[in-house]
Structure 1
């Protein structure tokens, strides 16, 4: 790529909050590469529900937004340029990142994105570009929740929403940490969960009894990736058990932790090691070209995909 400061790139952007109709393909300046950052040429980026929730204004009270916004926080690509003081990475390195910044503006649904080195990790060798792009946000969410709860050998973990993008990775991570895993999901996803080493149970009426039938003494860890299930969590949690949610702040009043994922290259490296050891894989449900991001968002909003939705750039 030329060093010309006026160089531009293709990017999907929006100028105002709204639905998928506010998205359009535009030309944007290639981002400047600050100290401690690298410029990544995007190979693939993946869709997360937070992307279209931000676009709809759902996080306006939480994060500053600078329009035009290039959405997207997950990326897999190659290092195109390095900033000052970035000895960890070199041009040509294959990398992944959860590329969330301190404000919403320059995201990953574009040809290039800048990423602080603290958020970067080498791309796992065992994952394709599409799979690698689907790992960062969902994988880090599950990994950080489970490790913060001290999940390990001897634990029985209940995963709420085990078939979802975060939940299916959470199942694999909990298993890799040495735990027994019970997961809630609709019956059509039970065979897939069994293949991941999970004992599936159907959600809905009678869930507490179904979990108790598998774990009469209760579970020691509950990972809530869906929200609205605190009553079940408390009903099946063993004495001294730990629980956390990414979707329900009311757990704070019930001895639990409310979490939101943090960019962390060191945690991504741990996930990459699990993937390369054969203990973690990423299911890709659908792939779209960059220009079809609106269709990808619409599919994500429908909420019926069993795996990650990936944008190929």
Structure 2
């Protein structure tokens, strides 16, 4: 199968920058798009810092870092994606935003055989595919945070996705990016979040009802079930706004109470306490180890 040599990544937050970093380190030329020049500069700094940390920790050599940097280019114009063979959108977990990006990419990418992939963690792929003129070329490719560390990718074909598209996406994820892929049906939450989100929301409800303190809930799961990170610390890492968006999408599809965001989660998001990225969530990251 022909390898992808020109990859586009739309969005350079935690997920987009991680996807771009992994691809560049694996020898792929990557064009990263952000919405504004300021966002481009922030994304470039995030990628540069991550590559530098990888060198400091002995994960890669300085030469590998420099080679990866040379394969990265940046833009704030989606029209520059015209020559890409494969584009992955990794923008905010918002159906309207993702639909707009996918629709714009469909017009911008010149090759009708090029594939458009979404990194959504909960939105049905078919809803995005039918917004394009190439629904057979749209597929879900869901990475996990942090992308350079987590090995898993969920492959999600829509009803419209062709077998060729799915095969090319699998080849990119596994043979080229070195990930492990699992196949998931196109239903909100797919495999991992369908299991994970109810567990995380249950931990919030437990804290909300006063059953235990945040640190005790987390240590209970870490020490009692050998989880590498407790549920509330994991929510802080994911981002409380992202978790709420995923829960909302899943609740809208299934109408199951276990997918409904607890009041505490909704209020923390409204207050801007989003976890690590805002400096405060269930824990205060200005003073590590202190609960919020």
1 or 2, which has the higher strand percentage? Answer: 1
Higher relative contact order (CA 8 A, sep 6+): 1
1 or 2, which has the higher helix percentage? Answer: 2
Structure-1-length-normalised TM-score: 0.28
Structure-2-length-normalised TM-score: 0.30
